[in-house]
Amino acid sequence: MLNKKNLRHLMVAAATALTLPAMAQQNYKQDSVTIKKIYDNALTSTKSYEDLRYLTKNIGARLSGSPQAAAAVEWSRQVMEKMNLDTVYLQEVMVPHWVRGDKEVGRILNSKLLGSVDANIAALGGSVGTGKQGLSAEVVEVKSFEELEKLGKKKVKGKIVFFNRPFDNTELVTGAAYSGAVDQRGGGPAAAAKLGAVGVLVRSMTNDIQDVPHTGATRYQDGVEKIPAAAISTKDAEQLSSLLKDDANLKFYMRMTSETLPDVLSYNVIGELKGTQKPDEIIVVGGHLDSWDIGEGAHDDGTGCMQSIEVLRLFNELGIKPKRTVRAVLFMNEENGLRGGLKYAELAKARGEKHIAAIESDAGGFTPRGFGLDGTKSQLQTVLNWKPLLAPYGLHEIAPGYGGADIGPLKGQGSVALIGFKPDSQRYFDYHHTMIDTFEQVNRREMQLGAASMASLAYLLSEYGL
């Protein structure tokens, strides 16, 4: 007699068989069974979720160069050493050490309507401070670099430039909206400084209207004065913009004590299972261990790290012996320097390592949708051929796409395919780079579905290559 569980398994197998060449059906039948075991184990395990709890609650925010980042390195190394992997090791990398200092103060001044109004701001990563007395100046609002250039030095000098271009909420994938707005944060302070501005405010990078400021890195330029730069919450950005329409001469007060200290020695944390047939062909699964300092770094990117470790646990637990080497890499310093990803690629090239694929999880621990692949047409077609095995688990979106920041430096080293894990994107930028990116915002089942998705693709890559 068939129960519901067996019936579903048969339906998946039948659907797979109908869409595959006859000569491949025998292997795909076994692959289907293996992938079902991966999902069953992942969805009934609490191990990686409890590890995420420890990482976020016991260690907390893990900005590069901080004691918490160092603690995360040692803890994650110990987690993988207890898993009976073939190899666990640390990879040295020098990282920036920027510190936020005291809690920032932001205030809208001299408004004709309301007088002094508090505003929620957060210093951008890498920003200089204002000095203990703070900074007060008139505000000029722009929505683009072109608008800023048209104002020129005469209208910008001595003022705080307020970059207020919102997300394009017609974009279905919120990452595309982020890409369309984030240049203000990265390049805005340097562009404003060239025209004599004394400070910068940048609308937070989120599609939501909320009180929470979203931090993130900015990039200064050599030979250009470094001026204080902060993100302002979208709710306060809306209010500031509205008040400027009625009082073009209003001022903004900002106080930040952030500073950059000398670089610090840190590490990428690496664990691997050696391939049984082609150990020299490497498949990476990874996320970044560092996070911003104002939250717990749960979705960004504690989930990606725990999912990567979970891939190895699932292989071990289920007795899957990969034909090619599967390596989990917890990268350091993605948020404000990408030093870990750059160092990993540098050493891989120096050692002549052959990476065939790298999968990165850095878009939150939400419900899986698929994978984006930066590679050749042939590599994409190979992964598309596996879609009948993956689609029953919700992985319908397999298409050309972005791999990831940390694996990006591997591009061009042989024929490596860079693969970005794609969870549902709608909620990610509610939490991204904020104080509310906490463990409580991560759903265990969604996170584990992501781990199983990555493990299933890693399994197929280890069996068949690209």
Q: Which of 254, 464, 285 is nearest to 362 (CA)?
A: 285
Contact by Cβ (8 Å): 185, 205: yes
Return d(Cα 427, Cα 342) in angstroms, integer: 29
Residues 6+ apart with CB under 8 A from 44: none
Q: Which of 261, 444, 316 is nearest to 37 (CA)?
A: 316
Structure tokens at 379: 């590599």
Between β-strands 87-99 and 229-232, what pairing exists: parallel, antiparallel or unpaired? unpaired
Length of the chain: 466
Judged on CB neighbours under 10 Å (0-12, 13-18, 19+), 125 is: buried
Residues 6+ apart with CB under 8 A from 278: 323, 324, 325, 465
Q: How many CB atoms lie within 10 A of CB 29?
A: 14
Structure tokens at 244: 């400027």
Structure letter (DSSP) for residue 410: G
State the catalytic residues: 334
Structure tokens at 299: 């979705």
Cis peptide before 362 (omega within 30 of 0): no
Judged on CB neighbours under 10 Å (0-12, 13-18, 19+), 411 is: middle
199-203 β-sheet, strand order: 115-119, 105-111, 251-255, 135-142, 160-163, 199-203, 229-232, 121-123
Return d(Cα 337, Cα 406) in angstroms, integer: 10
Q: Which amino acid is at 226?
A: K
